[in-house]
Amino acid sequence: MLNRRALMGAGAALLPSAALAQQAAGVVPPLPEAQRNLRYRPEREITPEREATTYNNFYEFGTSKNIVREASRMPMRPWTIQVDGMVAKPATFGVDDLIRQLPIEERIYRLRCVEAWAMTVPWTGFQLSELLKLVEPTSAARYVSFTTAQLPAVMPGLRQSWYPWPHVEGCTVAEAMNELTFMPIGMYGKPLLAQNGGPFRVVFPWKYGFKSGKSVVRITLTDRRPENFWFKIQPSEYGFWANVNPEVAHPRWSQATERLLGSGERVPTRLFNGYGEFVSGLYTNLQRERLWA
Ligand SMILES: Nc1nc2c(c(=O)[nH]1)N[C@H]1C(S)=C(S)[C@@H](COP(=O)(O)O)O[C@H]1N2
Ligand SMILES: [Mo]
């Protein structure tokens, strides 16, 4: 019989190098165990996995909704995320080290694109506030920006030089620390696919989908409002706040209803995408801001 100490010793010596070899080979490890958090109720049918993983918006890979083939060429290991700016402890984390350090859970959230399609997805991931606690934002930090990877070899969209690459999105520190702000590393119980923003992205379920930057490589805390990608392209249509509101029309269409991916059913859109109980307090003193995209 194997001696337990010898076994543990061997495990400790072998596992990290095995993990490193896997990383070097670009292998994405399976998701850790994750309990579904029932505090966040879907209130809708979960969107079929096929629809949610094949109808995508990811301009780095092209402007159509059909970018799976292009995205599948993106290597997702090794992958690091740099967290810097106005923090006491700036750090760069390997994605798998980060996943081991943080509490991982499953949450079913609704996502409402500004183009009026919507989906309901079981995401696996961590609350962004848990990551920010590791780096300790300073009291001067007011905003957080999220930068997407720029990989010209696999992202044909980057050749469209009129777009302001890299893709940057942002929010306030209060929004980033809100309990709803989530960083998925998976969906439908599987590692997040490249087309959905693997190996990890951010989601703000109460904001239009364009705020949820994909394939993030850098998170920066600042005292200046980040100029987000879509705002730079078309400021009249895509604001900084972009909270979902059925009564405030997009310049080119009504936002009163939305089309569910999968069934194609049209349903009424809700204020803050139905998450007002968690987030309306963030906006009480901001009535003069353009809070709705
Ligand atoms: N880097 C990057 N992030 C992005 C986008 C993008 O083009 N590039 N599109 C956004 C938009 S408009 C939406 S609606 C969601 C779509 O996410 P999904 O493809 O997983 O449904 O991703 C958002 N994040
Ligand atoms: Mo979108």
Q: From CA 171, how far away is CA 232, in angstroms rounded?
A: 15
Ligand 1 close to Cβ of residue 57 (< 6 A)? yes
Q: What is the mean pLDDT of residues 222-226?
A: 97
Ligand 1 close to Cβ of residue 212 (< 6 A)? yes
Q: Quick check: 195 and 204 in contact, CB under 8 A? A: no
Q: From CA 199, how far away is CA 151, in angstroms rounded?
A: 14
Query: Percent of the chain beyond pLDDT 90?
Result: 89
Ligand 1 atom at minimal distance to the Cα of residue 209: 14
Ligand 1 close to Cβ of residue 214 (< 6 A)? yes
Ligand 2 centre distance from Cα of residue 210 (Å): 4
Q: What is the mean pLDDT of residues 161-188?
A: 98
Alpha helices in the chain (DSSP H): 4-24, 49-54, 68-71, 95-101, 128-135, 173-177, 229-233, 276-279
Q: What is the mean pLDDT of residues 207-221?
A: 98
Q: From CA 158, how far away is CA 162, in angstroms rounded?
A: 9
Average pLDDT, the chain: 94
Number of domains in the chain: 1
Count of CB atoms situated within 10 Å of the CB of 91: 14
Ligand 1 close to Cβ of residue 167 (< 6 A)? yes
Residue 293 lies in a domain: no
Ligand sitting nearest the alpha carbon of 55: 1
Ligand 1 close to Cβ of residue 242 (< 6 A)? no
Ligand 1 centre distance from Cα of residue 88 (Å): 31
For the cut 70, the answer to whether the pLDDT of residue 8 exceeds it is no
- pLDDT on residue 4: 42
Residue 265 lies in a domain: yes
Ligand 1 close to Cβ of residue 113 (< 6 A)? yes
The CATH number for 52's domain is: 3.90.420.10
Residue 44 lies in a domain: yes
- pLDDT on residue 16: 65
Residue 90 lies in a domain: yes
Ligand 1 atom at minimal distance to the Cα of residue 58: 7
Residue 15's pLDDT band (cuts 50, 70, 90): low
Q: What is the mean pLDDT of residues 207-235?
A: 96
- Beta-bridge partner residues of 80: 94
Ligand 1 close to Cβ of residue 210 (< 6 A)? yes
Ligand 1 close to Cβ of residue 127 (< 6 A)? no
Residue 217 lies in a domain: yes
- pLDDT on residue 26: 84
B/e letters for 183-197, b = 16+ CB within 10 Å, e = fewer, are bbbbbbeebbbbbbb
For the cut 90, the answer to whether the pLDDT of residue 58 exceeds it is yes
Residue 290 lies in a domain: no
- pLDDT on residue 9: 42
For the cut 90, the answer to whether the pLDDT of residue 217 exceeds it is yes
Q: What is the mean pLDDT of residues 229-242?
A: 94
Q: What is the mean pLDDT of residues 38-52?
A: 97
The preferred substitution site among 50, 171, 210 for testing ligand 1, maximizing ligand atoms within 8 Å of CB, is: 210
Q: From CA 94, how far away is CA 77, in angstroms rounded?
A: 9
Q: What is the mean pLDDT of residues 98-117?
A: 98
Residue 292 lies in a domain: no
Residue 10's pLDDT band (cuts 50, 70, 90): very low
- pLDDT on residue 54: 98
- pLDDT on residue 93: 98
Mark the residues whose beta carbon lies below 5 A from ion ligand 2.
57, 113, 209-210
- pLDDT on residue 260: 98
| Parallel/antiparallel/unpaired status of strands 117-127 and 105-112 | antiparallel
Q: Whose CA is nearest to atom 4 of ligand 1?
A: 213
Which domain does 140 fall in, by range?
A: 4-282
Residue 287 lies in a domain: no
